[in-house]
Amino acid sequence: MDDICEAVGTEISYPCLVFSHGMYTQKQTFYSILNGRYDTKIIPKMQSKEICYSDHGWVLLHDYISNRYSLLNMITMNEEIQLPHLPDPVVAYNCKIFTSSPSDSNCRIMFIDGYSERCIMSCNTSDNDRFVKHYFKIMGDDDNYDHLYVAIYMNGKIYGLTLRCYGLVVADDHDMMNNSSSCMTIRFHKLIQESSPSKTFSSFLTSPYLTECNGDLLLVSVSFFTHNENVTGIRLFREDLSTKAWTEVKSIGDHHAIFLDKMRAFSFSNCGADIKGNCIYFVETDDRSLYTYSLEDQSITMTLPCHISATFTTSESDDSLWISIPPITNNKNLII
């Protein structure tokens, strides 16, 4: 078939950037920065579907035609989970969460609407007959002005970043896990509330992420220009519960790197010659080039990961996302 790359290796290693492209997103190109290899395949289970999220080696897919969601194991490529019908699928669920690997019988998939309805839709992957809807409230937000901008799952808790002043909030997942009733309201409690965020964060527009790195909960603040949304800089902050404020982090060490895509940030702790430590990897909006931000000297470098970058056209869907395949996996199922 045209534009299909010849396989250049025997495996694709973690971390791996996947691009969906072509008519009806029929093709997927996988690029491994660990060995600089790329491979393009046509995967029927991913055709006409948007890659919405990835974690634990699985991807969350949204079918453009049926408007349904499903999970696909990118390690085995033969394990698929069809999720139940999601009520109000047109709602902009700005956060998605896997509480563990979908292979785990206790895993739950969460869709969070942090803006309009302020709710969390969740279902269990082993008994996914329906989604349960829980409304949430940010304690202390009496005027209901604040919104949940991003969220991650860590140590049995849901951590969220509020739109107002980059506040950090947390909710215990235990009650929701043991309560299938939609009557219960999830309560988020404030851990950090910045009174003067302009003194801490850049004056440029920013896009924030939350991630865990070496046991710490980090806020990744990406600054960009308004006219073209090109990234101008990235700053890291660590939660300091003693002062109830964000403390800037200048280094994450030579063994750690952070990867950003349109949905989430995650850290990698086995850096070497091919993956630079103390760096942040990202792709720009409407751009399939790969960028590296150095925390050491605040420089940004750009590379073209594969031919798909050079042949990208604006008529194609810009759908790129990191998939988290464990580094010990020899994922031969992805190779042509």
Residue 268: how many other CB atoms lie within 10 Å: 21
For residue 162, pLDDT beyond 50: yes
For residue 190, pLDDT beyond 70: yes
Look at residue 5 in the predicted model and tell me its pLDDT: 31
Share of the chain above pLDDT 90, in %: 33
Q: What does the domain layout of the chain look like in residue ranges?
A: 16-334
Q: Rounded to 5 degrees, what angle do the CA atoms 189, 195, 198 make?
A: 125
Look at residue 34 in the predicted model and tell me its pLDDT: 74
pLDDT tens, residue by residue, 98-145: 999 999 989 999 999 988 889 999 999 987 788 999 999 998 876 666
For residue 236, pLDDT beyond 90: yes
Look at residue 285 in the predicted model and tell me its pLDDT: 62
Look at residue 323 in the predicted model and tell me its pLDDT: 85
DSSP secondary structure of 157-208:
EEEEEESSTT-EEEEESHHHHT---TTPEEEEEEEE--S-HHHHS-SSEEEE
pLDDT tens, residue by residue, 47-65: 888 888 999 889 999 998 8
Residue 150 burial (C-beta neighbours within 10 Å; 0-12, 13-18, 19+): buried
Element containing residue 290 per DSSP (H, E): strand 290-294
For residue 40, pLDDT beyond 80: yes
Sign of the dihedral through C-alpha 13, 19, 23, 26: positive
CATH number of 16-334: 2.120.10
Q: Model pTM?
A: 0.85
Residue 177 or 84, more confident: 84
Band (159; pLDDT cuts 50, 70, 90):
very high
For residue 309, pLDDT beyond 60: no
3-state secondary structure at position 297: coil
Band (33; pLDDT cuts 50, 70, 90):
confident
Give Dmax (Cα) for the chain. Answer: 59
Torsion on CA atoms 237, 16, 313, 289, rounded to nearest 10 = 50
pLDDT tens, residue by residue, 242-274: 888 899 999 999 999 999 988 889 998 877 767
Q: Round to whole Å and give the CA distance between 169 and 59.
A: 26
Measure Cα distances from 172 to 25, 42, 78, 159, 211 in Å: 38, 41, 34, 9, 18
Q: Round to whole Å and give the CA distance between 181 and 216.
A: 33
Residue 249 burial (C-beta neighbours within 10 Å; 0-12, 13-18, 19+): middle
Helix H segments across the chain? 174-177, 197-200, 307-310
Confirm if 210 and 220 have CB atoms less than 8 A apart: yes
Q: Round to whole Å and give the CA distance between 53 and 171.
A: 22
